[in-house]
A = this chain, B = another copy of it.
């Protein structure tokens, strides 16, 4: 189904003022991203704020030499906090955005940010709230990797997945989990088995059932 910018804004950004949505519809660009594709921000400077209209994307922090770590999901109604900030300079800051479902994003050139900020409370609140949430999320990530052991991180990860994906049958491979937690498949397999013995999950081929 093909929708136009205004329809997406109406559907997922109800808190925006009608006039704001009208202005945005004029200037924004729509982009479709097929599942699996990554918007690497490692060189290509995004000069637009990214609003998610459809689908689901995963945001990763990339290590200096190979390796990555999962930060958080972006869903319809969310925005990429980084893309709101990075705009002015082409700082790329080793972050990777990957679509895990076919997704649609709305790109609003950053040059309008300041103007919208001053004229629309709906936009101001949205931006502040976005920063706040992502900041919290990064702090949570920091204390997980700094203070928690892998088994605890795994439990948290699985809980998070269930919540975000809205199902307790997680169709995710051990290898993917290992990538997201920046660990290795073997370790994740071992820990999962331990969780199964504790009766917290049930392992199946291709998916994990949470109990």
Contacts and interface: CB of A to CB of B under 8 A. Distances in A.
Interface stretch (A13-21, A98-106, A131-139): A131-139
Interface residues of A, number: 37
Interface of A: 61-64, 67, 69, 71, 81-82, 85-86, 91, 93-95, 114, 117-119, 121, 124, 128, 131-132, 134-136, 138-139, 141-143, 145-148, 182
A64 B143 CA distance: 8
How many copies of the shown chain assemble into the complex? 2
A86 B117 CA distance: 19
B143 A85 contact: no
A159 to B, nearest CB: 15
Nearest to A133: B85
A124 B135 contact: no
Contact of A117 (B71, B91, B124, B143): B124
Given A121-B114, A124-B117, A143 B91 contact: no
